[in-house]
Structure 1
Amino acid sequence: MAMKSSPVVLKTWYVSIACIMLLSALLLFPVRISLASPAVLVVDDDGFASPTDCDGSDPAYSSIQAAIAAAFPGDEIVVCPGVYSEQVTIGRDGLRVRSFDGSAVDGTPDTVIQPGELTPAAVLITANGVVFQGFYIKDATTGTGHAHVHRGVFVQGDNNVILNNKVEGRGTCRFADVGILVRGGGVGNGVAENNLIENNEVTNTCNGIATVSIATNNAAAYTTIKGNTVKNNLGIGIAADRTPSALVGFNEVTENEIGLKYNSDSEKGLPATGTKFRCNDVYGNEIYDAQNIATDNSIMDAEFNWWGSNTGPDPSKISGSVDYVPWLTAPKEEGCPQKGRMTGGGVLRGEVLFINKTKVSATVNFGFEVHCNNEKEPNNLQINWRVGGQTFIFHLTAMNYAACFETAADQGMPPAPFDTHVGSGEGRLKIGPSPWTPATIQWMFVDDGEPGVGKDIFHAVIIADSTSYVISGKISGGNMQAHPDDP
């Protein structure tokens, strides 16, 4: 008698096969098992790696974009060495996308992003709070099929960090290529704000690093460009173009056509108010070391930079209204120490206060402790004054930028490698019984010897509710002291 197969057995057998196939898929492909964040997602061009071993056998993503698509805000994406021929768009907030060793400027630029197209960019960041770190972005395109602008990294969101990357262009200025560009437009309110471009190397492109505004809804503000090496570019090294409150500091800018470029256009609502160039090494650029093309008669603030000589810049290498006095008498490492702090407390009396450019007689009390490195803490600053029966109190809540330099001031004892501290930050202002109001501040403090009375300089600009308060003068009582230690 023929035996009949049991349908129950067959069903179980098919289910078992399905489970085995599913298990195999899970083992062969990187799948996010948990939805909890943060998680670490790994990318390797051979599809196998772990967060600690790029030669590991765990399933990994084989493309950067695939890992970004699978990530959640707060996740970290680690990319192993290799050549990734893809454009990358980061549109998810809070991601950290980094190469395995975290740096392409340490002599090992081994994690390469080399797409066939760089428009709008090789790497486009439309999200906020992203860290993009340690990649070698290479434009290897040739031929006539790319008659348009190329960009290495294009930042359109807010609060992003572009760190330790190397960007190499295609060696032409026909299409105004940019190595790293910060500009909003089409993202959020259209203004890319509070982005940090730090410790990158940009070479062989048209324009190295640029923070740019072209309209009020296609703009950038509060960009910090710090510690980058920008050299051998066919156009501009670093441009702050109609961007307010940009801080360009501690960069090496050499062997470009133009070193530093500044633009401001108040008539079109694109002023570069508060933009400063500080502690840069700027020399050996072909046409100009610094150029101001502003249409609103504003002055390019380029004090405390090293121009390749202790006698300052070559006048023939300066174009437009550029304030370069005082200058550093040694390169930035020596002239702008990032270790140390300044303390002070005292009073200014007389016509030392300007409210919306109107001079006012006042007594101003102050006290502070601020570090040369804005990442060091604590950083405290409080300023009080009284006008028309009203008491004004400013309190610093965050220091966003700091730099220390040696000038011609005689600080006396104890000796420190600097006598001047400049910085900027955020705070709050209280006027009489009114509630606290958000405010911004920029300052310069100068330790000009002992005793400090009549010598030390206090200068601060506070802006709150569209009102500016400028406090400036030599102190009438108290002291300021530069300290070489950095506890």
Structure 2
Amino acid sequence: MEGGSWKEPDETLTAPRGKKMNRKLLFAVLAAAAASLLLGVARASAWQKDPDSMVDPVKVVASLVLPTPDVTIGDQDTTVAGIGDATVGAGDMSYSDPPHGTTFWVDNTPLSGDCPQATFVSIQSAVTASGPNDTVKVCPGTYMEQVRIAGSTHDGLRLESLTPLGATIQFPAVTSINHQLIDVDDADGVTIRGFVITGPFNSAGCSVDRWEGVLFENNAVNGRLDHNHVTLIRDVDPALWGCQQGDAVAIGRRLLDPTPPGIPASAEIDHNVIDRYQKNGVQAVNPGTNAIVHHNTINASTEPALRAIIASNGVVVFREAAATVEFNSVANNQFTAFPLSTGIILDEAPAGSSEVDHNSVFDNDFGIETDTQMGLDISHNSVYDNLGDAITLCGEVTFFCGPAEQIVVRANDVTGNLGSGIALFGADSNLLKSNHIEHNGSPTGDTTDGIRVDSGSMDNQILDNHMHANVHHDCHDDSAGAGTGGTANTWSGDSGDTQNRDGLCRFATTIP
């Protein structure tokens, strides 16, 4: 950083691909909506600046209760091709690897003779009997139980389905006081592999304590969740879907303000299918938490009835957690009541700690959003067919965002979004370089563009981006200063068909 502007890194990268609603217009609508929602039964924490609490759950439940006859809960066992051993990378352990420690076998139908070596009929009993670095092998079947792996006596435990997706762990009809299907609590190096992990759960009402399919918490570090199908982590009662309380996978326990930040955890989440969740696909929270999320397929529900109630997000990293999010497919996070559901959100990660690279993010309300973020890398993503802005950098205080600075947005392929390709709101000293941005925008109002920089964004370097056929402009900058074309930013080497002022892009016709 020199003189408050971005100093371009030495290395040069090349490019990859994006649909969304314009955030500025949306917040004006939300302001009016929020005023009405806050009356009456609004829960106290519902409208805080948490990226995943944009909706008042109690009010939504009260106003959008669904008729149940044509609602399919879909709680049957599920198998999905493509996440078994065939997708194991070179660094992945194989089912043929010899187990370490003692192996405990589980079969809940021992009389069938399918698994003669099994001596336990429940997963929890085998886990309780196990020690550090042991392995629990689970034979095919459906296990209606909650599993808790707690304490250093279970460090290094491997919990594995005997065959890929052959064993299902499902919320029982009556749950314990814990809200987790699988809870890894203060146990390090725990691996969970090859299961169908499924709901629905029976919450019996809205709760400030979220429900999770898998939770790593309380200093549980170096965990791993791989080659599983995590699905239907939502309420069994459709009338409670608006509670926004079902997270498929969580790293760090989420606590509501004004409670002090929670205790961290860390885990690698890879090669999973994560779908049909009630709130977030993968969530990482708390200072010191670190999540590595890669090679997953993360899809929210596509049923219109659910989209009217559930404000889902794909990957959410906030409250000073850090994450590497790469090589994932994130789709279908849409909330029709207030279109703010987002594919990937990073909020308040420590400077320089996180990156969002090589993901496909599509068919969400918004694609990738950063809020109150410094020193983040967003590169080589394909962001397309979202209903609003594809990539958003928010540092605007009137939108409840803190500083958005030193963010690198490079070599992304951004196409076919209904909002802007890349939108900056109160974002300073960032680098936007070598992005391919085409066919984004909506003809409704002059609020969408290829790259759109608002009047409060300054000292940004906007370099070598290729833009074409975006509505309303390929190149748009509303700031004022001593930069390019009288803006407060530097535009250089960019190309486009249209611009809102002279000097921003080569070959561009100026259309005020």
* Cα distance in 2 for residues equivalent to 1:170 and 1:83: 18
1:114 corresponds to which residue?
Answer: 171
Q: Counterparts of 1:192 and 1:44 in 2: how far apart (Å)?
A: 34
What residue number does 1:94 align with?
A: 156
Where do 1:74-89 residues align within 5 Å?
74-89=133-148
Secondary structure of 1:223 counterpart:
strand
Offset of residue 166 of structure 1: 1.4
Matched, 1:279 2:358: yes
Tell me the matched-pair count: 272
What letter corresponds to residue 133 of structure 1 in structure 2? R
The verdict on how the C-alpha distance between 1:291 and 1:176 changes in structure 2, with shifts beyond 3 A counting, is: farther
Shift of 1:56: 3.7
Counterpart of 1:356? Answer: none
- Cα deviation, 1:414-453, whole Å, max 9, x if unaligned, reads xxxxxxxxxxxxxxxxxxxxxxxxxxxxxxxxxxxxxxxx
Amino acid at match of 2:362: Y
Over the aligned positions, Cα root-mean-square deviation in angstroms equals: 3.3
Q: Deviations over 1:139-161 (max 9, x none)?
A: 12357356552100000100111
- Paired residue for 1:240? 317
Is the Cα–Cα contact under 8 Å of residues 184 and 191 in structure 1 kept in the other structure? yes
Q: Is the 8 A contact 2:138 2:167 kept in 1?
A: no
Aligned residue among 270, 279, 291 for 2:369: 291
Distance 1:143 1:176, change over 3 A: closer
The answer to whether the aligner puts 1:132 opposite 2:132 as a matched pair is no
Letter of the structure 1 residue corresponding to residue 358 of structure 2: C
* Aligned position for 1:151: 212
Which of the pair has more CA radius of gyration?
1
- What amino acid sits opposite 1:240 in the alignment? V
* 1:41–1:256 distance in 2 versus 1, CA, 3 Å: same
Question: Which of 234, 242, 252 matches 1:170?
Answer: 234
What's 2:58 paired with?
none
Deviation at 1:122, TM superposition (A): 0.4
Larger relative strand fraction: 1
CA contact (8 A) 2:145 2:169 kept: no
Alignment of 1:123-272 (within 5 A): 123-126=182-185, 127-142=187-202, 144-145=204-205, 147=207, 149-156=210-217, 157-168=220-231, 169-170=233-234, 172-183=241-252, 191-205=263-277, 206-213=279-286, 219-233=287-301, 234=310, 235-257=312-334, 258-264=342-348, 271=350
* Corresponding residue of 2:391: 318
Deviation at 1:83, TM superposition (A): 1.3
Counterpart code for 1:316: D
Cα distance per residue 1:33-79 (max 9 Å; x no partner): xxx97111100002369xxxx71434520000100111121111100
CA contact (8 A) 1:180 1:210 kept: yes
SS in 2 for 1:144: coil
- The CA distance in 2 between the partners of 1:190 and 1:145, in whole Å, is 24
**Alignment partner of 2:128: what SS?**
helix
**CA-CA distance at 1:167 after TM superposition:** 1.4
The 3-state SS of whatever aligns with 1:55 is coil
Amino acid at match of 1:170: R
Distance 2:254 2:410 in 1: 37
Q: Does 1:55 align with 2:124?
A: no
The question of whether the paired residues in 1 share the 8 Å contact of 2:366 and 2:387 is answered with: no
| Corresponding residue SS for 1:74 | coil
Distance in 2 between residues matched to 1:87 and 1:110, nearest whole Å: 14
For the residue of structure 2 that corresponds to 1:65, the secondary structure is: helix
Distance across 2 between alignment mates of 1:143 and 1:190: 23
Per the alignment, do residues 165 and 37 of structure 1 end up closer, same or farther by CA in structure 2, a change over 3 Å counting?
closer
Mind listing any 5+ residue stretches in structure 2 that lack a counterpart? 1-98, 236-240, 256-260, 302-309, 335-341, 395-403, 416-433, 437-512
Aligned-pair identity in percent equals 24
Supply the distance in 2 between the matched residues of 1:272 and 1:45 (Cα, whole angstroms). Answer: 48
Measured in 2, the distance between the counterparts of 1:328 and 1:37 equals 42
Q: 1:84 to 1:112 in 2, by over 3 A?
A: same
Measured in 2, the distance between the counterparts of 1:117 and 1:272 equals 40
> Counterparts of 1:256-405 in structure 2 under 5 Å?
256-257=333-334, 258-264=342-348, 271=350, 273-285=352-364, 287-294=365-372, 298=374, 300-308=376-384, 316-321=389-394, 325-329=409-413
How far apart in 2 are the matches of 1:130 and 1:111?
18
Question: Where does residue 71 of structure 1 map in the other structure?
Answer: 130
Q: Which runs of 5+ in 1 are unaligned?
A: 1-35, 214-218, 265-269, 332-405, 409-487
**Compared with structure 1, are the counterparts of its residues 305 and 75 closer, same or farther at alpha carbon in structure 2 (3 Å cutoff)?**
same
In structure 2, how many angstroms separate the alpha carbons of the residues matched to 1:146 and 1:44? 35
Q: Deviations over 1:382-428 (max 9, x none)?
A: xxxxxxxxxxxxxxxxxxxxxxxx999xxxxxxxxxxxxxxxxxxxx
Note the alpha carbon deviations across 1:179-211, whole angstroms, 9 max, x for none.
Answer: 10001699xx96535421111111111110011
